[in-house]
Amino acid sequence: MTLQMVLTLMLGLLPTTAALATAAQATTAQATATLAAAALPTAAQPAATRTHAPPADRVVLENGVVIEAHAVVVSDATVEIDLGFQVLTVPRSAITRLEEGAQGVAQEVDADADGDADSSADAESNGRRLYRHAAGHANRALDDNIAAVGEAVVLVRTPVGLGSGFVIHPEGYLITNDHVVEGTTELTVVVYRKATDGLRKDEYKHIRIVATSELLDLALLKIEPDEEELFETVALSDSNELVQGEAVFAVGNPMGLERSLSEGIVALKSRLLSGQTYVQTTAALSPGNSGGPLFNMAGEVIGVNSLKIAAQGAEGLSFSIPVNQVKAFIDSQEAYAFDTLNANSGHRYYAPPQPGETQGENP
């Protein structure tokens, strides 16, 4: 039996058997872009080692507010901004960037104090980063991780099947597998949100394919809601730092069973299959998991679930695309830009003619 006979490449393209209920789409009110709208607490922050940083002329908050002042002291937990008549203490979780005049970035600060995605409406077009790096959080219990990342893991539905995905930017950019969306532009994304009366499913039908690669089996999508709103996101880790045997977990929609959790370990951090490298894991994956995230126990994405070996006697042989390949794909999105005039854009090679056959010509 050849490897091609046992590889289930279309792991996540699960045929739908029934229409999922349409939920009311949540919208959020546009916050007033003023300093007061930032609602910045000035209460005492956790103790942290302080380091003096070069003054920055502009402090950009994650809600879009820009403070023209100097960041006089930067610590792991807070940034102190000199307003002239008082010093304002701002949590690092509220700051996107510290900018040094008009000449560029002095340093990047994110909600996890380690390089957030740019919360700019034109982040895609101007080449600014669409994802945030992991901040090296301590490992957490599974229930704590699910509470932290659950709203960022989505369902991606097409007219012929469904898969999973995860949001990387608060403006609605998300990652899934190319084979989940291959051959169609008619997509629906379902976001699962906590509500006072339980769980709410919000459906979004205006989905734009930003970039896609059949070779890498990756696709970058953009949710375009009817009204402006922000989405929960997950951080991307460093797959080079994976350790064989470390615990991992996957969240997705296997066999259409929404928001399912499976756990396992890293069986091998770099496995070569059909010319591509994957993270091999024992976490159970099934059709419907494709495009969903594989997390470490700090709740950081380490891979994109893509395929498994399905053969008699084969158990626990699942594979995820390393997150470093995902980051390279996002950073090079212009090279993989989706051609809106051709839903099957990309190179396609036809089988050579057999002996005796003649090549036809266009009229």
Rounded average pLDDT over 335-347: 70
* Domain shared by 240 and 163, yes or no: no
Map 158-221 to HEC letters. Answer: ECCEEEEEEEEECCCEEEECHHHHCCCCCCEEEEEEEECCEEEEEEECCEEEEEEECCCCEEEE
* Domain shared by 314 and 245, yes or no: yes
Active site residue 118: no
pTM: 0.65
* Domain shared by 219 and 239, yes or no: no
Q: In this structure, what CATH number is given to the domain that contains residue 202?
A: 2.40.10.10
Cα–Cα distance between 290 and 156 in angstroms, integer?
Answer: 10
Closest CA to 18 of 255, 191, 290: 255
Rounded average pLDDT over 107-119: 45
Closest CA to 281 of 296, 297, 265: 265
Active site residue 179: yes
Q: Which residue's entry shows tokens 């929960």? A: 232
Q: In this structure, what CATH number is given to the domain that contains residue 80?
A: 2.30.30
Q: Is residue 104 part of a domain?
A: yes
Active site residue 169: no
pLDDT at position 198 is 84
Q: Is residue 228 part of a domain?
A: no
pLDDT at position 89 is 84
**Catalytic site residue from 70, 133, 169, 179:** 179
Rounded average pLDDT over 329-348: 76
What is the number of structural domains in the chain? 3
pLDDT one-digit tens code per residue, 198-207: 889 999 999 9
* Domain shared by 274 and 297, yes or no: yes
pLDDT at position 18 is 41
* Domain shared by 216 and 296, yes or no: no
* Domain shared by 241 and 331, yes or no: yes
Q: Is residue 125 part of a domain?
A: no
| 146 or 14, greater pLDDT | 146
**Catalytic site residue from 217, 260, 262, 306:** 217
Q: Is residue 271 part of a domain?
A: yes
* Domain shared by 298 and 207, yes or no: no
* Domain shared by 217 and 245, yes or no: no
Which residues constitute the domain of residue 279?
235-336
Q: Is residue 26 part of a domain?
A: no
* Domain shared by 208 and 246, yes or no: no
* Domain shared by 212 and 177, yes or no: yes
pLDDT one-digit tens code per residue, 30-40: 333 333 333 33
Q: Is residue 63 part of a domain?
A: yes
pLDDT at position 310 is 84
What are the structure tokens assigned to 19, written together? 């229409």
* Domain shared by 195 and 274, yes or no: no
